[in-house]
Structure 1
Amino acid sequence: MHYGSKGWYVEELKKKGITHYEGRKLQSFKKYFLANLLETKKQA
């Protein structure tokens, strides 16, 4: 898995226990959305 790839963001969010967001799987979102979501979860 390459750092910064869509798969990397999905994997990092899964490590935090997030597999779905608003009823949709993480894989259905664009990379930029996953990056923003991960950043907000790091701050919380």
Structure 2
Amino acid sequence: AVSYNGERTLEGLSKFIESGGVYGQGADEAQEEDEDDDVPRKDEL
């Protein structure tokens, strides 16, 4: 998915679509890496 942070006008959205999602694209969000993903979690009841 591509974030759109450009102009909220027909012209701005048209440029975004015609450029393949490059024009007006939002900044890339850094993906958080969880170090505990491979460790099973213990649920206490």
Same fold judged by TM-score > 0.5? no
TM-score, with length taken from structure 1: 0.32
Q: Higher Cα Rg: structure 1 or 2? A: 2
Q: Which has the higher contact order (CA 8 A, sep 6+)?
A: 1
Q: Which has the larger strand fraction?
A: 1
TM-score, with length taken from structure 2: 0.32
Q: Which has the larger helix fraction?
A: 1
